[in-house]
Amino acid sequence: METLLDLLQSGRGKGYRLALQAPRAEAHAALIHCITCDPRVDPQMEFRDEYYACLAIETELDLGPLAKHLRDHDDADQSTSIAGLTVGVVNQLARRNYREARQIYCDYIEWGQWWEWSMNEVIDSADEVFGRNIANAILRRFPSDDGFAGNFGLPGSAASLGTLARYSPRFEAISSPPAVKPSITLPDPATLTLVEFLGKADSQNVWKLRGMVRDMVKPSDMEVLVSSISLDRPLAACVALAGLGRLTPVSQFDWLVRLWEASHDEGEYRTAESLAELRRLSRAIMDVILDLPGECTLPHAREWVGSDKAYMSYLGMLVLEYHATIEDLPYLKRTLQAMFVDRKAEWSCWIIKAFYGLLDIGRVPELEEVFRRFRFSIGRKYAACALDATSPEFFRDEFALECLWDSEPDTRELAIQCVSLSSGEALARIRCLAHDPFEDEDVRREAQKCLAAEAQSNSGTV
């Protein structure tokens, strides 16, 4: 059952639109519940701040309950997320200068544990009066210069110090630009053999060398690259694997799989540093395997997905994500069905990307159910893209319009590209997205492009 609360908790556009139509008391009760009882599966990945803030403005929400929640339930040591979403929503409301949001925000700065949350974003959009009020609130929180600089721990607030320095000299002492990182000296490949070049890899230059080696290698270097790849020299191996991947080493497939398995033997005596390098190497091996042709890897991946070794099952699902064919549809559908009975399985929702290559195969009910039922808005985003790939007309007619109000920016951007512009509601919403200065930049740009194309189309028909 799709209740208003269920829809708002998952961040669906349908919930947003329904809240606008619902009695204000019902909409406000559901909205306050969502803001004060964070419903996100993963607060670090899912967007909700703007979604709830914009809905609060449109429904004229009284902010008193949010201010009270912050006072009563502020996280003493940021060990829970009981106040984090509320702070984020208040921040977004303050940016938009809604009612008393700026007063609540500045008050919270003086005593709240999440006071630095999104500060850079807020200050960047603050006018002179609001900026000065923020600065004064920080100064009241830290009346003494003793330890003043040490209290700015999050990158957001650090980036804002230059702006705050306009309002008080106390900020000037800690607003100096960050120290410039020393430049990385790269080896000259023209003066080195390939083996010597690989030997120059270190923790500072490994990623740049990976880019350089791709332009250096030729088919005759295959043997040298393979012989240079060892778990005992993970940094040099990472660079060599980048070169090897450029050569599409189908003949080395079995060896690469064995290397993948060996890279997951963490050993009893490995240090934290060596484990980190090993994981980096494992990623480099995976990149090469995923770039191999599907006809080489798919038959094996279909066996790996059922492995009791998690890293082999993981690799199998990744290969399916990259190369799945219609033959894999039954397995993919079963995987989605499992997510409906085991909420923990939602964390594997990235497998939905395997449908992206199954173009125009028709409606897949499991994808539709993911879109409707998932709590995890990232999974719904993947489902929207998959629906657009597998049954584009159905997605356009059934889901695209509501996605213009979805909590995830990527989902809104997709909806702009797919929605039927014959709907006056769709055009009105796209105009809103195009002119909202606080909207995600990519969404705003896509909306503006859509409106420009529509205007050109209309002018051509006159």
Give the H/E segment covering residue 55.
helix 49-58
pLDDT at 147: 66
Cα separation, 426 vs 417, in Å, equals: 11
pLDDT for position 212:
96
* Phi, psi (degrees; rounded to nearest 5) at 40: -70, 145
pLDDT tens digits, residue range 15-37?
999 999 999 999 999 999 999 99
Question: DSSP states of 141-168 as a string?
Answer: H--SSTTTGGG--SHHHHHHHHHHTTT-
Q: pLDDT-based confidence at 172, cuts 50/70/90?
A: confident
The model scores a pTM over 0.75: yes
Would you say the C-alpha torsion 157, 160, 162, 168 has a positive or negative sign?
negative
Where along the chain do its domains lie?
4-174
CA-CA-CA-CA torsion sign (408, 385, 30, 19): positive
Share of the chain above pLDDT 70, in %: 92
What is the spatial distance between Cα 241 and Cα 228, in angstroms, rounded to a whole number?
A: 9
pLDDT reported for residue 408: 98
| Among 158, 155, 188, CA closest to 171 | 158
- From residue 408, give the alpha-carbon distance in Å to each of 130, 402, 404, 412: 28, 12, 10, 7
Which residue do the tokens 């503006």 mark?
A: 448
Q: What mean pLDDT do residues 38-56 have? A: 94
Which tokens in the block code for residue 169?
């000299």
- Give per-residue pLDDT as tens, 358-406: 999 999 999 999 999 998 999 999 999 999 999 999 999 999 999 999 9
Quick one: pLDDT band at residue 170, thresholds 50, 70, 90? confident
From CA 47, how far away is CA 407, in angstroms rounded? 6
Which of 75-89, 175-189, 269-283: highest mean pLDDT?
A: 75-89
The mean of the pLDDT values for the chain is 91
Residue pair 339/306 in contact by the 8 Å Cβ criterion: no
CA distance 391 to 281: 38
What per-residue confidence (pLDDT) applies to 72?
Answer: 93
Copy the structure tokens of residue 371: 């879109």
How confident is the model over 423-440, as pLDDT tens digits? 899 999 999 999 999 999
3-state secondary structure 182-218: CCCCCCCHHHCCHHHHHCCCCCCCHHHHHHHHHCCCC
Question: 178 pLDDT exceeds 90?
Answer: no
Confidence of residue 13 (pLDDT cuts 50, 70, 90): very high
pLDDT category of residue 269 using cuts at 50, 70 and 90: very low
Judge contact between 264 and 311, C-beta under 8 A: yes
Q: pLDDT tier at 327 (50, 70, 90 boundaries)?
A: very high
What was the pLDDT predicted at 192? 95
> In the structure encoding, which two tokens stand for residue 13, read together?
């556009």
